[in-house]
Amino acid sequence: MTALSPLTEVQWIAAARRGDRAAFGQLFLRYAPLVHGVLLARMPRADADDLMQDVFVTALERLETLVEVEKVGAWLATLARNRAIDVWRSKPKLALLPEVSAAVQPPRAEVNEVLALIRALPEAYRESLVLRLVEGLSGPEIAQQIGLTPESVRVNLFRGMKLLRERLGMSAGEFE
């Protein structure tokens, strides 16, 4: 997690509210992995990459509505969730094409398969797993940024990993 020293997070938000773009840039650097992870838990990588910018533009426009500045991570996560929901509602429903089998699929295809499996897990586990496995956040960082207790995140990660291993057909020690 990127430190916001020497100013506190509250001071960065206050400066951003006054129009300080560098202060908002620092908030972006700190929370970009969180927002990206929340989006990636709900949609393909290309869409998540594009929408991350939209979420931060919305955050900049609505920064004055942030009541509890110490919960900026949870607020940004909510903005990202809502943006993902809006996109899914507005997309036309497409028919799935049958899978084309190939002798050797590139590793990227495997990553996409695992992300698809994660997206199929219960919502309580999706974000925690993506934030941990893809964005590299620790359990305490996830808890602090999305407003859960560290114990809740630990349980979500444990149960989510167990379900993911089962769906991948792996034993407990194969996928850490």
pLDDT attached to residue 92: 60
Residue 124 C-alpha from the chain's centroid: 12
Q: Where are the domains of the chain?
A: 9-92+101-168
pLDDT of residue 173: 58
What integer pLDDT is reported at residue 151 of this predicted model? 93
* CATH placement of domain 9-92+101-168: 1.10.1740.10
pLDDT of 33 reads 94
In whole angstroms, what is the distance from residue 127 CA to residue 33 CA? Answer: 11
Predicted local confidence at residue 49, as pLDDT: 86
Q: What is the mean pLDDT of each run of 10 residues along the chain (176 residues)?
A: 61 91 92 93 87 93 91 93 86 54 54 85 88 89 89 93 87 57
**8 A C-beta contact, residue 145 and residue 77:** yes
